[in-house]
Amino acid sequence: MQPRKGLWMFLPLLAFLGLAVLLASGLGRDTEELPTALAGKPLPEIQLPSLMRRGTEVSNELFIGHWTLLNVWATWCPTCYVEHPYLINLAEQGIRIVGLNYKDETDKAREYLASLGNPYIEVAIDESGSYGIDLGVYGAPETFVINPQGEVVLRYVGELNDRSWQQRFAPVWEKETQ
Amino acid sequence: MVAELGHFCLWLALALAVLQSFAPVYGYATGKPWMLAVARPAAMLQWLLLTVGLLALAWAFYSHDFSISYVAGHSNSKLPLGYRISAIWGGHEGSLLLWVWILALWGLLVSLLRGAVPKDIHALVLAVMGMIGIGFLCFMLFTSNPFDRNLPWFPLDGGDLNPLLQDPGLIIHPPMLYTGYVGFSVAFAFAIAGLIAGKLDPAWARWARPWTTVAWAFLSIGIALGSWWAYYELGWGGWWFWDPVENASLMPWLCGTALIHSLAVTEKRGLFRAWTVLLAITAFSLCLLGTFLVRSGVLTSVHSFANDPARGAFILAFLVVVVGGSLALFAVRAPVLRHRAGFEFLSRDSFLLANNLILLTATFVVLMGTLFPLLGEALDIKISVRAPYFNAFFVPLTLVLMMLLVPGMSSNWKKQEGRALLKRLFWLVPVSIVLGVAVVAISGGELPFVAVLAVVLVVYVLLAHIVDWAQKALAFRSGLLAGARRLPRAYYGMVLGHIGLAIIVAGVTQVSFRESERDLRMLPGDVATVAGYEFTFAQVVDRAGPNFNAVRGIVPVTSNGRLVTTLHPEKRTYLASGQVMTEAAIHSNLWRDLYVALGEPIDDTAWAVRIYYKPGIGWLWIGSLLLGIGGVLAATDRRYRSRKSEEADAAA
């Protein structure tokens, strides 16, 4: 057996290791924290009816002076059911969450909050989804961090849970609110 | 409680998998036969435990236990029973459980059907399968537990199964596909066991070959079912999209096709040993790579599961351990297994080598096409790789493959006399050209050169196999039919596989060059003519389904004034999710499909309607079915069923 021949046999291993490096580079890539054209810009003007306080409107004033989460949700969204307990958990820690009930049926939405609990200080009804377009929403759930000046700081697509909170939100939230 | 029992069974299965993996290896290294003997009962018990786990999840779906997050996310109180069961594999966690269960099922079959495999190698094979089981069970238990509860605030009703997956095709597609995917783990386990034991001779190939062929047959059918599902469910008439997830299943199939051919050479001639082992490792590695691509969120695809970097990192680590480890083992051990035996340039051996090179080139083309977006990202160039790239390679590769197929299967092993081969092809080539061109002319004329060439090659492959079959049957000198019965199953497997390929190519050629489609705005009463059929958009009615409301179009189709069929395309709104789905209506016969899909309502009365005429599309499914049947026939050939052991077990 010639040693040269033996070395050839390592070629598949080397090729695979190259591939593994490539795959690992893809893993680091963030698919959930999507860039938003709104970053650092004021939240688009809201003129939407309130879900809980019938007859009143939700406006941008709600966001001024406090750090707030804007959570896009709907009763047709399975992941919203999954993240709902976590939102309640956050609300219990005193975090202000405003809901945007997106392309949903209002009666169903009220029932949802009545049966599962309400983590929101206010919920705006976006039945047609037009405010969702202003925000550039992909779907539900999505969560935005809004600073006391009413500007968008972070956009996050997908389930909000302990892991995503620790990784994405906590660095922004804790630095700024203390 | 049932869910906790299921969860507990998964942990027990993991413990057993650890035992199944390490006891035989230890037993092999220290020469303790009783340690080797642990593998079989461990594999059987593991299957039993995972069956309980799967049934527990089925029960949770059946009984609407929405406190389990997975059930809440993938079912609904109004979901019909059949889909409640198939919802088990409708998402990441549950489909992973199905994956592991099928792995255990293969383990059970391997442990029951030892055949002529010596006890020590058999135990090593089960040990390797146990190691794969450890990886996937850990993956499930640590990152994706299907039994996780969502307490105390569980939803009163579930979010419903994705409407795309509420379809009969999706009940059987994943189990078939996974059976194929996971089946390659058996070939892989045989390869590793062979490398460890230093036994990779024709006998080894004979043990590994039927398992590989069956896995390949299931994968063929699984891929075809996926394509069929995309064709009728996505509502725009396409049957293959070169989507990363489709590619993920095509790569192991291409590599597996190369493997079943190279195993033939190793079994018959004892050649290509290192190469065959490398293919077995590669085929399974591509299955794992597919799993990684689908579940890590690295590539975006219509099929992909929820993105989770932790899951991706886990599979990647597992991939590095399994594939890296086995390739390192290969690099160290393969040179020892070298075997010198020559073959002439003109021989079945070298034609099969060409087959392997073509199929591996195709695998590489798909791999590059699939990973290019990732590579582009790393190098900061954005290029989208679409169908033209794949077609540019696949069309010529397939045509060359078909050209070489006939001389290959007509040649002898080791050395084929050139003149005899030429004599066989001498009449076949001109007859195929004449017949092929005649078929094109009769069936509607005018096709580009490449399509005519494809038709000629289809005729050439079909004719060659029919003639070969007749000659071989007559050679018994007992009449055609009596002779045909004496031909071995493995031969019929090969013939059906090759004919299946020819039929698929014929179907693809027709549907690619002769389909017609129209996108129309239609008012009730409007008539559209497509490919000689008049489609009347008669009226639109409402219909309530079990968990959806539908708008249903009534479309009678006539040809030359005679009613062919009445099609009922639907637009469904699913109640739980509010998602809108297009349900195409299709009328099929052997020659063509008529396909109508309802688009959006344009105003109060008008609708966007898509009408397709799809000739030859059914041949894709028929051809794939032949591949599957051929694979099963080949794997059940008499020589594999013999329980006689050529290797004395005493050697163990």
| Closest in A1, A9, A17 to B324, CB measured | A17
In tens, the pLDDT along B40-50 reads 999 999 999 99
Confidence of residue B195 (pLDDT cuts 50, 70, 90): very high
CB atoms A23 and B374 under 8 Å: yes
Best to test chain A binding among B69, B273, B305, B307 (most A CBs inside 10 Å): B307
Q: Quick count: other Cβ atoms within 10 Å of Cβ B435?
A: 17
Q: Dump pLDDT digits (tens) for B361-383.
A: 999 999 988 888 777 766 766 55
Mean pLDDT of B330-346: 79
Residue B299's pLDDT band, with cuts at 50, 70 and 90, is: low
Residue A9 lies in a domain: no
Per-residue confidence (pLDDT) for residue B630, from 0 to 100: 96
Q: Rounded to whole angstroms, how far apart are CA atoms A89 and A161?
A: 10
Residue among B492, B436, B441 at smallest CA distance from B463: B436
Per-residue pLDDT tens digits for B301-319: 444 454 566 777 888 889 8
Spatial CB neighbours of B160, under 8 Å, sequence gap ≥ 6: A78, B74, B75, B76, B78, B79, B547, B574, B575, B576, B577
Q: Is residue A38 part of a domain?
A: no
- Residue B547 and residue B160 in contact, taking contact as beta carbons nearer than 8 Å: yes
List the domain boundaries for chain B.
Answer: 1-166, 405-514, 516-618
For residue B292, the chain A residues in CB contact (below 8 A) are: 23
CB pairs under 8 A between A and B: 111
Residue A5 reports pLDDT greater than 60: no
Q: Is residue A40 part of a domain?
A: no
Whether residue A24 and residue B298 make contact (CB cut-off 8 A), yes or no, is: no
Residue A25 maps to a domain: no
* Predicted confidence (pLDDT) per residue in A118-163, tens digit: 999 999 998 887 888 778 776 678 899 998 888 888 888 777 888 7
Residue A83 belongs to some domain of the structure: yes
Contacts of A32 in chain B (CB under 8 A): 307
- pLDDT of residue B642 exceeding 70, the answer is no
How sure is the predictor about A178, in pLDDT bands with cuts at 50, 70 and 90?
Answer: low
B413-471 confidence digits (pLDDT tens): 888 888 888 888 888 999 999 999 999 988 877 889 999 999 999 999 999 999 999 99
B499 pLDDT above the threshold of 80? yes
Q: Rounded CA gap, B90 and B170, in Å?
A: 8
Q: What is the identity of the amino acid at A8?
A: W
In this structure, of A7-11, B91-95, B233-237, the range with the lowest mean pLDDT score is: B233-237
Per-residue pLDDT at B197 exceeds 60: yes
Which residues between 34 and 73 in chain A have a beta carbon less than 8 angstroms from any beta carbon of chain B? none
d(CA A82, CA A88): 11
In this prediction the ipTM stands at: 0.77
Of residues A9, A78, A159, nearest to B159 (C-beta): A78
Q: Look at residue B49 in the predicted model and tell me its pLDDT.
A: 97
Could you say which of A1, A13, A85 has the minimum Cβ distance to residue B327?
Answer: A13
| A20 shares contact with chain B (CB less than 8 Å) | yes
Q: Does A18 touch chain B (CB under 8 A)?
A: no
Domain span including residue A103: 48-177
Q: Is the pLDDT of residue B650 over 60?
A: no
Q: Which of B343-347, B396-400, B631-635 has the lowest mean pLDDT?
A: B343-347
Q: Which two tokens stand for residue A40?
A: 């650092």
Q: Is residue A62 included in any domain, yes or no?
A: yes
Q: How many domains does chain A have?
A: 1
Inter-chain residue contact A27 with B327, CB threshold 8 Å: no
Contact B313 A27 (CB under 8 A): yes
> How does the average pLDDT of chain A come out, rounded?
81
CB contact under 8 A, A31 and B150: no
pLDDT in tens, A20-72: 888 877 765 544 455 556 677 788 888 899 988 888 888 888 888 889 999 99
Give the CA distances from residue B179 to residues A50, B184, B636, in Å, rounded to whole numbers and listed in that order: 52, 9, 17
Q: What is the pLDDT of residues B546-571, one digit of tens each?
A: 888 888 999 999 998 899 999 999 98
Question: Which of B73, B292, B309 minimises the CB distance to A78?
Answer: B73
Contact A110, A51 (CB under 8 A): yes
pLDDT of residue B382: 53
Query: What's the mean per-residue pLDDT of chain B?
Result: 88
- Give me the CATH number covering residue A71: 3.40.30.10
Q: Closest Cα to residue A146, out of A64, A33, A54, A57? A: A64
Residue B617 tokens read as: 């599309």
Chain A residues touching residue B294 (CB < 8 angstroms): none
DSSP string, B577-619: T--EEEE-EEEE-SSEEEEEEEEEE-SSS-EEEEEEEEETHHH
Nearest to B316 among A20, A77, A159 (CB): A20
Look at A9 and B334 and tell me if their CB atoms are within 8 Å.
yes
B195 neighbors B330 (Cβ within 8 angstroms) = yes
Place of tokens 């396909």: B595
> Which pLDDT score, from 0 to 100, does residue B647 have?
42
